[in-house]
Amino acid sequence: MANRPLSPHLTIYRFAYTMALSILHRITGVALAVGLIVLVLWLAALAGGAGWYARFLLFAGSWPFKVLLGLWLVAFVYHFSNGIRHLFWDAGLGLERAQARRSATLVVAAVAVVSLLLLFVLFGKVAA
């Protein structure tokens, strides 16, 4: 068994920008799954009646929940944007190293702009 070839592992590869985005894509997928549980709790509170919904709104109005909601929003925007990038890869487009780095930069820039815009729409206070 000692003569078997070993498959490459993290210690073999040099850490790259695209590798970080791949790992972040997996992490945001898990975060979105947790967010889905909160969505189900919200729907259950809606179905449970006014009392349950009032309790949920008390929880949802707290600043820790608002921070989590903002993080879930950014995670969704990133996961969605990077998922589109992966769809292009599945079609055989953008697989060269320079193209992959360029698309990674585009994803990060798009996430920054779209996330800031959505966070402003969600949490921004506009005086009328």
Residue 4: predicted pLDDT: 66
pLDDT tens for residues 13-63? 778 888 899 999 999 999 999 999 999 999 999 999 999 999 999 999 999
Q: Are 74 and 123 in contact (CB under 8 A)?
A: no
Q: How many CB atoms lie within 10 A of CB 25?
A: 18
Torsion angle of C-alpha atoms 124, 104, 92, 6, degrees rounded to 10: -130
Sorting pLDDT into bands at 50, 70 and 90, what band is 73? very high
Q: pTM here?
A: 0.85
Q: What is the mean pLDDT of residues 71-93?
A: 97
Domains identified in the chain and CATH numbers = 17-123 (1.20.1300.10)
Q: Which residue intervals of 49-96 are DSSP H helices?
A: 50-60, 63-90
